[in-house]
A and B are shown apart, each in its own frame.
Chain A
Amino acid sequence: MNDNIRNFCIVAHIDHGKSTLADRMLQITGTVAERDIKKQTLDDMELEQERGITIKSHAIRMEHTALDKKKYILNLIDTPGHVDFTYEVSRSIAACEGAILVVDASQGIEAQTLSNLYLAMEQDLEIIPVINKIDLPAAQPEVVAQQVIDLIGCDDDDIIFTSAKTGEGIESLLEKIVQVIPPPKGSEDKPLQALIFDSMYDSFRGAVAYIKVVNGFIQKGDKIKLINTDQSLFVEEIGILKMERVKKETLKAGEVGYLITGTKTAKDIKVGDTVTLDSYKTKVSLPGYQDIKPMVFSGVFPVSTEDYEDLKDSLEKLQLNDSSLVYLPENSTALGFGFRVGYLGLLHMEIVHERLEREYDLSVINTFPSVTYKLHKQNGDIEEINNPKDLNSNDMIIKIEEPYIKAQIITLTEHIGPIMKLSLERRGIYHLTDYLDENRVVLKYDFPLSEVIFDFFDKLKSISRGYASFDYEVTDYQPADMIKLDIMLNGEKVDALAAIIHKDKAYHYGERICKKLKEIIPRQMYDVAIQAGIGSRIIARTTVKALRKNVTAKCYGGDITRKRKLLEKQKKGKKRMKQIGSVELPQEAFLALLKIDE
């Protein structure tokens, strides 16, 4: 009997007000007390609150008495709002029967609105279109409404206009949820199948899985099986999610809640996996499980070599509640011991770095990010590499393949020209232009992933005056003419500065990187020759001339200790640099690769 349950999510572009809308619903249903309302209640990581984006998804149960006087259970399943987390979004969506599509009344439809909407439509969810932020002076609800109607083919009347800020329209939205979204379809009588749509790490209880029971029921003490990862575990605790976890003895088909098994690490609990009973002879997995693979890799090295152990511990801790983070030890001649870290995408990479610095108080150097390339060798082997140092010219490589993405860019028509130019520079393959209305278009492109993993989005924003939005999904691998570009300082290759780059771009890139390094490397006691090369061929070079003057003219009896301290300070300044052969390289040099156009 789950007719009174409504499971739904909210899909939206960043900053269109998803979290505020969620907060308002929690408030109006009395799920959270008035005084406990923080802005964006569902996002509890410090970083999330600060950036105003949802990184880890959560779920919460609300109770609402509808106009028909019946009590309904509304499970709001929050989804992460960024392109890097598409798979996680898709699993959250899979746990729902309906989706609220939130569009900002002043911004209109954006790239992420589309990609998330497509995910929801693939799962056959009932869509409730909501136009939010109608209180804004720049709001154009009618224009945006027309976009929405054109997009999903709904009627005028289906659209709900809200201001999450003032609370306007929220009551009608709640009523609409009850009326439109169907109750969960599963049945208590069938064998247990529960979908893990998210997980988190609790330092006291270990991994906590967020589940939706699709069929059957689960009880405390059950011996369960996670089908895809083939693990047998016991149910230590189950319950529902309100503002806190609320223990229950049983969760039945249609219900959403949490599951604690005593498993210590989040990575053992894979999002998308199916929970069933260990005792069943035939175990049927729910569709859609994927073992998610990191798409972007970079080296992470401690600034001071003595921080290596701390970095290792911190990554371990991060992985406890970020199951998508993977890392392996890496040894660089330039930077010493560190890790090769894999991320879902660029934002994920930034978040990991920021958390390392902020939550774990570490100073780290990040090397140039790389995607995973497939090397086809003469002997038929295919090797996957994500580190420039693994690309060696004498490896008998017949061809190299790189990952491609399908991207959609939404922009104003007036920016089409510059965006097409940028896309061409990034080796984009144009597919089509769709008009959302007379001013706004969707451009569809295929890109090599490597071309968008850094600074593409920033560039896009800048040439479109902040207007364009961008979203993508990784599709396939295609052959590419990639080479390894080495950077040498005084003839010595600096492994951490090497990059895998398209052949046509190598010359230009090499020149720019040499120029940038010349700006960054301070004059030293020797000339420093900076060279960029492919194999044994040098394609760009420049020199930082030796320091000519650094001498204290006067030193008498007056202030010797102060003079000594000044010299000691100069020495400390040096310590913050990386010694590479005879050259002192400031940490910014590694960052410079990422900001080469500035």
Chain B
Amino acid sequence: MEIIENVYIHIPFCDSKCPYCDFYSITTQDNSIKNKYVSKLLEEIEQYCDIISPNIRSVYIGGGTPNSLDALSLENLLTGLLNQIHLAEGYEFTVEVNPGSVTEEKLKLFKEFGINRLSVGSQTFLKKELKTLGRTHSPQDIFRTFNTARKLGFNNINLDLIFSIPGQTINSLIYTLNKLAELDPEHISAYMLTYYEGTEFYRRSVKKDLIKIVDDIEVEYYDFVKEFLGSKGFEHYELSNFSKKNKMSNHNLNTWNFGAYIGLGTSAHSFYLDSRWFNDNNVKNYIDLKFNKYPNRSTLSLTDKKNEYIMLGLRKTSGISLENYNNFFGNTIDFDFRKKIGKYLENNYLILDESRLYLNPEKINIYNSIVSDILLD
């Protein structure tokens, strides 16, 4: 029986809202709300103890800004969590931190509770671009946070990078990449800026108040990022993710491998067996209302599952393991998708070898066009 070994916890609080971000967060300074929220998180996890493994392989605390909780709330959260779950050997425990606001004290706290991976929202090393993105930290904050973390013994750090920021040039991108490489983190998540509907950036781009970098240039930036990080010893293992040897994000790999996970807190999504469910985006309701188990639950059909498996698997440069697919669905990927993938195999957009089906690295830039075309009807 499959059982959940991966836990996500959402902390929906930020000091300020970034205009491009579409993750759920609110900008309250009220610590009593945050404390109550933490208590409810611990209540929520309790009710899923029947489907959560006694050996947890990954925990990821994201947001929002997890370090916007005060030290006491953080301590309560981590104590309570570790009372209820048991971390397996070789676990990965990540916390996202904002380089502008995380303190040495909090980093220490994380270290004490066994957190062994940090994800730093660095985004870019140019003041001007940070300002465009609405970030409140400075390039110095990134260096400070990173060096403090190293000093405290964190040996698995991710730096987030956003590129194709309005006004960005290839030279400013090179500057940021060089700074990144100087710090020499274990992992880099490099995202093309996306204008999500509902965000301020989206509205501004529609009004032409923000000038998007055009697709053809964006692709050149993306290609450059891949090439540059490759030359610095980073393996490109997922569309937007790069890592040093053996430092891939296990938590996220589990998602791309179609593994089960539970998400706790507002807006968090869970996936287990045939079901997906998620919590609403509302801190007040989350605190005040009684829990329903499996809120907003939907059931995936077999076709949905196959499509999601393909969609997620092909995000990885290593693609889909034929054996894993066969074990999961009880028939081969060739049997299910032969008609769909034929022409892409012929023209080498997709590659099928003895053990894997994967995207030709040169065609990663049009992942959506290819994947949408091969989904089952």
Q: Residues on A close to B: CB < 8 A?
A: 524-525, 547-561, 563-564, 567-568, 570-571, 574, 582
Closest chain B CB from A521 CB (angstroms): 14
Q: Which residues of B contact A582 (CB under 8 A)?
A: 343
B358 within 8 Å of A by Cβ?
Answer: no
Contact A568 B365 (CB under 8 A): no
Which residue of chain B has the shortest Cβ distance to A582 in the bound complex?
A: B343
Q: Across the interface, which residues of B come within 8 angstroms of A549, CB to CB?
A: 215-216, 218-219, 222, 365-366
A551 CA / B311 CA spacing, docked (Å): 12
Cα A127 to Cα B256 with chains together (Å) = 84
With the chains together, A556 CA to B239 CA distance in Å?
A: 11
State the CA gap A550–B371 with chains docked (Å): 10
Q: A564 and B304: CB pair below 8 A?
A: yes
- A550 touching B365 by the CB < 8 A rule? yes
- In Å, the complex CA distance between A559 and B300 comes to 14
B337 to chain A, nearest CB (A): 14
Q: How far is the CB of A339 from chain B (nearest CB, A)?
A: 28
The answer to whether B271 and A548 have CB atoms under 8 Å apart is no
Whether A554 contacts B191 in the complex (CB less than 8 A), given A549-B219, A560-B269, A560-B276, comes out as yes
Contact of B125 with A by CB under 8 A: no
List, in ascending order, chain A residues with CB within 8 A of B215's CB: 548-549
For B365, the chain A residues whose CB sits under 8 A away are: 548-551
B101 within 8 A of A: no
A-B residue pairs, 6 tightest by C-beta: A570-B372, A567-B372, A550-B368, A549-B215, A551-B367, A549-B219
A-B contact count (CB 8 A): 99
Decide if B191 touches A547 in the complex (CB within 8 Å). no
26 A-B residue pairs with Cβ-Cβ distance under 8 Å, sorted by A, are A524-B369, A525-B366, A548-B215, A549-B215, A549-B216, A549-B366, A550-B365, A550-B366, A550-B367, A551-B365, A551-B367, A553-B239, A557-B261, A557-B269, A558-B267, A560-B255, A560-B269, A561-B308, A564-B308, A564-B375, A567-B311, A567-B375, A568-B372, A568-B375, A570-B372, A582-B343
Give Cα A567 to B372, complex, Å.
5
Contact residue among A524, A553, A561, A571 (Cβ-Cβ distance under 8 Å from B372): A571
Cα A555 to Cα B307 in complex, Å, equals 15
The reply to whether B269 and A568 contact each other, CB–CB distance below 8 Å, is: no
Q: What's the least CB distance linking B53 to chain A, in Å?
A: 16
Q: In the docked arrangement, what's the CA distance between A571 and B374, Å?
A: 9
Q: In the complex, which of the residues A547, A555, A574 contacts B312, with contact meaning CB atoms closer than 8 Å?
A: A555
A493 to B41: give the CA distance in the assembly, Å.
63
The answer to whether A548 touches B219 (Cβ under 8 A) is yes
**Chain B interfacial positions (CB closer than 8 Å to A):** 8, 23, 191-192, 194, 215-216, 218-219, 222, 239-240, 252, 255-256, 261, 263, 267-269, 271, 276, 298, 300, 304, 307-308, 311-312, 315, 343, 349, 363-373, 375
Minimal beta-carbon separation of A555 from chain B (angstroms)? 6
Q: Which residue of A lies closest to B262 (CB)?
A: A557
Whether A551 contacts B368 in the complex (CB less than 8 A), given A560-B308, A560-B312, A563-B311, comes out as yes
Distance in angstroms from B376 CB to nearest chain A CB is 10
CA distance A402 to B99 in the complex (A): 78
CB-nearest residue of chain B to A569: B372
Q: Are A571 and B375 in contact (CB under 8 A)?
A: yes
- Given A548-B215, A560-B271, A561-B276; A553-B191 close (CB under 8 Å): yes
Least CB distance from A553 to B in Å reads: 5
A545 to chain B, nearest CB (A): 9
- List, in ascending order, chain A residues with CB within 8 A of B369's CB: 524-525, 547, 550, 570
With A564-B304, A568-B307 already in contact, the answer to whether A556 and B366 are too (CB < 8 A) is no
Is B373's CB under 8 angstroms from A574's CB?
A: yes
Bound Cα distance A496, B343 (Å): 25
**B239 lies within 8 A of A551 (CB):** yes
Given contacts A557-B269, A567-B372, contact A552 B191 (CB under 8 A): no
Q: Given A568-B372, A570-B372, A571-B372, answer yes or no on A553-B269 (Cβ-Cβ < 8 Å).
A: no
Q: Which residues of A contact B349 (CB under 8 A)?
A: 525
Alpha-carbon distance A368/B255, docked complex (angstroms): 51
Chain A residues whose CB sits within 8 angstroms of the CB of B271 once the complex forms: 557, 560
CA distance A554 to B240 in the complex (A): 7
* Given A554-B240, A571-B372: A548 in contact with B366 (beta carbons within 8 A): yes
A10 to B304, CA, bound (A): 65
| Additional A-B contacts beyond A551-B365, A560-B271 (20; CB < 8 A) | A525-B349, A525-B366, A525-B370, A550-B366, A550-B369, A551-B192, A551-B367, A554-B240, A555-B312, A557-B269, A557-B271, A558-B267, A558-B268, A558-B269, A567-B311, A567-B368, A567-B375, A570-B372, A571-B373, A574-B372
**Distance between A334 CB and nearest chain B CB, rounded to angstroms:** 18
A559 touches B304 (CB 8 A): no
Q: How far is the CA of A559 from the CA of B312 in the complex (A)?
A: 12
Chain B's closest residue to A562 (CB) is: B269
Q: Tell whether, in the assembled complex, residue A547 and residue B366 are in contact, meaning their CB atoms are under 8 Å apart.
A: yes
In whole angstroms, what is the CA distance A549 to B372 when docked? 14
A553-B366 in contact given A560-B255, A563-B311 (Cβ < 8 Å): no
In the complex, chain A residues whose CB is within 8 Å of the CB of B363: 525
Q: For the complex, what is the distance from the CA of A569 to the CA of B365, rounded to whole Å?
A: 19
Q: Which of A557, A558, A559 has the most CB of B within 10 A?
A: A557
Given contacts A548-B219, A550-B365, A551-B366, contact A556 B255 (CB under 8 A): yes
Contacts of A525 in B (CB 8 A): 349, 363, 366, 369-370
| Contacting residues, chain A, for B255 (C-beta < 8 A) | 556-557, 560
Q: What chain B residues lie within 8 Å of A570 (beta carbons)?
A: 368-369, 372
A-chain residues with CB within 8 Å of residue B364 when the two chains form the complex: 551
Closest approach, in angstroms, between the C-beta of B26 and any C-beta of chain A?
17
CA distance A254 to B122 in the complex (A): 96
Residues of B within 8 A of A548 (CB): 215-216, 219, 365-366
| Cβ 8 A contact of B368, one of A552, A554, A560, A561 | A552
Chain B residue at minimum C-beta to C-beta distance from A551: B367
Instruction: Give min CB distance, B273 to chain A, whole Å.
Output: 14
Cβ B304 vs Cβ A555 within 8 A:
no
A161, B311: Cα distance in complex, Å: 75
> In chain B, what residue has the closest Cβ to A575?
B377
> Taking CB as reference atom, which chain A residue is nearest B191?
A553
A568 to B364, CA, bound (A): 18
How far, in Å, is B266 (CB) from chain A's closest CB?
12
Name the CB-closest residue of A to B194.
A553
Q: Closest approach, in angstroms, between the C-beta of A526 and any C-beta of chain B?
A: 8
- Residues in A whose Cβ lies below 8 Å from that of B300: 561
Give every chain A residue within 8 A of B276 (Cβ-Cβ): 560-561
Q: Which of A547, A550, A556 gathers most chain B CB within 10 Å?
A: A556
Nearest-neighbour CB distance to chain A for B252, whole angstroms, equals 6
With A553-B192, A553-B194, A571-B372 already in contact, the answer to whether A561 and B298 are too (CB < 8 A) is yes
What are the residues of chain A within 8 A of B252 when measuring CB–CB?
A: 556-557
**Complex: A547 Cα to B218 Cα, angstroms:** 12
The answer for the CA separation of A420 and B174 in the assembled complex, in Å, is 63
Residue of A552, A557, A564 near B367 (CB, 8 A) is: A552
Chain B residues with Cβ below 8 Å from A555 are: 239, 256, 312, 315
Within the complex, what minimum Cβ distance (angstroms) separates B2 from chain A? 16
Task: Report the minimum CB–CB distance from A223 to chain B (whole Å).
Answer: 59
Residue of B nearest to A568 (CB): B375
Shortest B308–chain A CB gap in Å is 5
Verify B311–A559 contact, CB threshold 8 A. no
> How far apart are the CA atoms of A551 and B219 in the complex, in Å?
10
Min CB gap A582→B, angstroms: 8
Q: Which residues of B contact A547 (CB under 8 A)?
A: 366, 369
Distance of A71 Cα from B256 Cα, bound (Å):
90
Q: Which residues of B have CB within 8 Å of A554?
A: 191, 194, 240
Q: Compute how far the CA of A524 lies from the CA of B363 in the bound complex, rounded to whole angstroms.
A: 12
What distance in Å separates the Cβ of A550 from its nearest Cβ neighbour in chain B? 4
- B270 and chain A: residue at smallest CB distance: A557
Q: Report the bound CA distance from A568 to B343 in whole Å.
A: 19
* A497→B213 CA distance, assembly (Å): 36
Residue in A525, A553, A574 whose Cβ sees the most chain B Cβ within 10 Å = A553
Of A551, A558, A560, chain B has the most CB atoms within 10 Å of the CB of A551
Chain A, Cβ-Cβ closest to B62: A556
